[in-house]
Amino acid sequence: MDRYDDYIENKETIVKPRQRMECYPENMRGRGMAGMDGATQFKEPPQQNFDTEEMRGSMQHILSDNIGEYVVIEFLIGTDRIMRKQGILFHVGRSYVTLFDDMVNDYIVCDIFSVKFVYFYYPGQRPNRNYNILPNVNNSGNGNTR
């Protein structure tokens, strides 16, 4: 009997965990990034296990427990600039995190040590804007530079 069944039987107050959504592109399911077609293939090491005594409670542990969830991550750049990146949490390494941007089918590899805040979204919900599109600071071009 799982905790939800226990809740029904004993009427204790718990929250039923969310079910993780399938997040990978159809041709990628079960193959990781190394399975992409094309001349250049993005290769990743196997997913590390962060459920160890020394890693419990770390950012890597929290993120690896939520692979497949949609997130917006805020990174500290330098001493006073925050940059946001968003996407489906695809892979977590010891020093990086990989997001899948499902709007343009890109993978974004980010430095985990500059992560300051992570926003998690309920299934089917997304932020109101695309934080992966950077504003054009010098007003030349179309502003869709990444």
Domains and CATH numbers, the chain: 47-122 (2.30.30.100)
Confidence of residue 137 (pLDDT cuts 50, 70, 90): low
* 72 or 5, higher pLDDT: 72
Whether the model pTM is above 0.75: no
Select the highest-mean-pLDDT range: 50-54, 66-70, 101-105, 124-128: 66-70
Q: Which residues contact 54 (CB under 8 A, 6 or more apart)?
A: none
Four-point Cα dihedral 127, 132, 135, 136, nearest 10: -160
The token pair that represents 37 in the structure block: 């077609």
pLDDT of residue 24 exceeding 50: no
Whether 112 contacts 95, CB under 8 Å:
yes
pLDDT the model gives residue 47:
84
Q: What is the predicted pLDDT for the residue at 15? A: 35
